[in-house]
Each structure stands twice: as structure tokens, then as C-alpha cells.
Structure 1
């Protein structure tokens, strides 16, 4: 985030890591309260002290607009073409690494998880039968109590190796995610 900001504007957008922690915390609070518009957290009527006392509205939007997980000029064109989520891939990879370190229970399941997505993008799926019809389709391995042990965001035909799709979408999902089960290890 800072490197691109300095390159484009000549100024650093964020001086401390603690400000990014506050920004992340504010996003978590917003995810729980879910006002229709972000500006409402700073409005006089709906003011949320957990948000307003930590960061001004203008600073929040400045950080939000500058937030980057990858520097576009450092990513190969081939990677950009093959991975529709290349801009947020480091974030997904970090979360997935933590999921892979969790202990494996005796019984697991592979299922779809719909992650609401209000932005636009080519990976967004439309399911009119879902309460949140526009979402990212996430294929997950989870424990019986719902703990996500591994996941793979669906990106259309590029999600799986071409040879796996001969079996169909469901079989390719199971085959891909079963690799992370580490069958030789001791399970809980």
C-alpha cells in the first residue's frame, strides 16, 4: 500500500502498522453492524464510537482507497490472466495457510460456501435462490462443527486443472481439496 502511494503521489499514506490494525478492527465492527452505507458510522444520528473515536471518516476512506495486497507492476501478465483474484491472492494464501495448520478431525465434509460480494467482478456468482444472490463461491473442507480447514475460491474453468473437469465440478472440488487432508498424519 505504502510503496504504490509513494510512487504515485510522493507521499506515504500509512506511517505505522498500528493504524492498519485499527483499520482492520473498524472493518470487523462494520461487518458486524452492517449499516447500508459506510458513511453512516460517522453520521451524527448513528455515530459509532468504536469507529469514530479511532479514525476519521476521511482517513478511513483514504486508507480504503489505497489498500493493495499486490503491486500490479510486479505481477506477471500470465499470472494476471490465469488468476482472476491476483490482487487479493496474498490475503487468501495467508488465511489458507492458517486453515491448513488446524488439526484435522476424523470426519470432514466438502461443501460450497457463498461469501456475499457487493462489488463487481468476474468471479462473482449469481444465485437467485440465495438470500444474498451475488456472492463469491467458496468450496470448503470443514469439520462437523463448521470450522473451515481448507478452501478454494471458484473462478470458473480456471479453478481446477483441465484433466479434473472431466469428472465434473463436484468431483474436481473434492479431488482438489482432499489433497490437504494429509491422510498419513494422526487426526483428532
Structure 2
């Protein structure tokens, strides 16, 4: 790797000194405490070497260079850029669907579910006033007609299947679990392109709920947290609402909470198709990258230094000490 500083006040010249640097050269031994030698402004190449006995002359040249604006460029040698070809394909259609067409697909399955569960809930609630199953603590306080007038019967899941908190198999999202499953099945059926992204999002809510999260870095700081899988076409293809511990995806190893969130969203995607996945440093970890590589999924991500074992990165304060510092 070679570096070049170009004075943008003059005509830009091509980089001609991008030769291979020997392993035993001074450039290969640079550290964050190394000093640099600044060459004369008549030569626009800026080499990173230790200072020698001409330090006084170089300091004067340094002041002259600092006054000018420099554009740093990195020249990589012997590292050909290989971008794997995507093996998937987006099916062709005779007619492009309108947004309302996609919404109708969702409603055609959602409405029957709500009607069925709401009717079931009505029957279950009326048992408190029935002759054989009457509950005095309820029936003596309020009439059935008054109860039906107050209570909304919109319901999505069967209360008889609810598992109490603390018991094995408890689902904090039991009330809306069929809605989430139905929605995800529809989203997964949509065609997905080569470039996809995983990120988290806050669904605004300030009411009383133990699932409510606070994230000061989000535009909406209070609400439910969800992990989303989206394509570069702007469509949502899968999502999960955060409800506590993030378990590993079925048939995949445990790579930590953040990595599990990515694999759970991505588990239905075909392998070895060379999809390109993008995500941020909260989701990135070496164990996750290994699993993605094994499944033929390429990725671009930022990474936190404390997640890389046996590697000590300089702090942000140290990186800002010198211009052009890199790791």
C-alpha cells in the first residue's frame, strides 16, 4: 500500500510510485508514534519515513505544505477487485402491481383471521353470563349488553393458548403472533434483489409496556425495537420485534445476540447465490461473518474494535493526533 498527497491547487498527476513495498522497508514498520518527513513542495510526493538530521529544513517545508489543501489517495497494488456475480434472478412480470395490489394481498388473509378470532373471543367472554358457566363476580357487576357495548372484540389470537409469564414457551407477543407470522409470510414471498440490508428500527410508543425500549441515538427514542431485512428497492422482506433474549436461528450456530438477529432474518434466503448484505457495527462480529461466508453471502459492514480478539486499535483521540493516520 502506498500513499500520495496531491496539492489540489496544481494539476493532478497520476500516481507512479505504487510499487510493491518490501516487508523489511521502513514503511512497513510504521506505528502510531512514528514521526514523518515532509519533502520539498516542489515534489508533490509525500513519503512516510522517520526524520533524519535535516529536521530543521523539513519543518520549514512542513509549514508550507500545511498551508495548502491536500487530497489523500490510497493506491493498492497486487489486490485485484473481485466482485462475485450474483446468481439469483428477479422474475419478470407482465404487469407491474400497484401499491394497493400489495395491500390487498395482505388484507385478503388478515381480515378472515381477525373475524374468526374476534367471534371466538365473543363466545368465550359470554360464558361469564351463561346459565351453566355463570361467574357472579362478573355477571353481578355488569350486564352482558353493557359489556359488549364497552368491550372491543377485535382479537387476533386465542387466549386459551396463552402461556403465562415465567413458564416454558411463554411468548410476550402472543396477542399479535399470528399477525406477525402472516405479515412475514407475505413479505418473504416478495422478490428480493441482490443487495439487501439489515438494521434496527424503533416503532414509536410511550405507553406502559415491558417491551418498550429507549435508544437515544434514534429519531424516535421510545418504542418497540424491531430488526428489519430490506432490499435496495425499498421493500421490507422480513422483520422481528425484539421481545427479550434473541435465540439462535433454527439449524444455525449461536453467534451472539446481534449476530442471531441477522441470521434469523436471513435464514430463509437461498445459499450460495452471492447476495450482498450490508449492516452496521452493532450487528457485526467475526463469528457472524464466518457463518455468512459459509452460506455464500458477501457482506459490507463497520466493526467495533472491542469485538475483534487480540487486536488493539488506537482510540479515536489517538487517531485524531495526526492527519492521514490510518490502521
TM superposition score normalised by structure 2: 0.36
1:175–1:7 Cα change, 3 Å: closer
C-alpha deviation, 1:80, in angstroms: 6.0
Partner of 1:56: none
Partner of 1:175: 263
Deviations 1:129-175 (A, max 9, x none): 33322211111110013211111111121x32399896333222222
Partner of 1:160: 247
Q: Distance in 2 between matches of 1:175 and 1:99?
A: 17
Tell me, which stretches of 5 or more residues in structure 1 are unaligned?
11-60
Tell me, which stretches of 5 or more residues in structure 2 are unaligned?
1-117, 128-148, 276-327
**SS state at 1:90 partner:** helix
Q: Distance in 2 between matches of 1:69 and 1:173?
A: 25
* Higher RCO (CA-CA < 8 Å; seq separation 6+): 1
Q: Distance in 1 between matches of 2:173 and 2:233?
A: 28
Partner of 2:160: 73
**SS state at 1:140 partner:** strand
Select between 104-113 and 173-182 the one with higher mean Cα deviation: 173-182
Which structure features the higher share of helix residues? 1
Partner of 1:130: 218
2:173 counterpart of 1:85: yes
1:79–1:4 Cα change, 3 Å: farther
C-alpha deviation, 1:183, in angstroms: 2.8
Q: Indicate conservation of the 8 Å contact 1:125/1:137, yes or no.
A: yes
Q: Distance in 2 between matches of 1:76 and 1:145?
A: 39
1:179–1:80 Cα change, 3 Å: closer
**Count of residues in correspondence between the two structures:** 135
The structure with the larger Rg is 2
Correspondences of 1:1-188 after superposition (within 5 Å):
1-9=118-126, 65-77=152-164, 78=167, 81=170, 83-157=171-245, 159-161=246-248, 167-183=255-271
Q: Distance in 1 between matches of 2:270 and 2:187?
A: 13
Q: Distance in 2 between matches of 1:118 and 1:156?
A: 18
Deviations 1:38-75 (A, max 9, x none): xxxxxxxxxxxxxxxxxxxxxxx957x32211121134
CA RMSD, Structure 1 to Structure 2 (Å)? 3.3
Q: Indicate conservation of the 8 Å contact 1:150/1:180, yes or no.
A: no
Q: Distance in 1 between matches of 2:207 and 2:154?
A: 15
1:7–1:110 Cα change, 3 Å: same
Q: Distance in 1 between matches of 2:182 and 2:175?
A: 13
**SS state at 1:182 partner:** coil
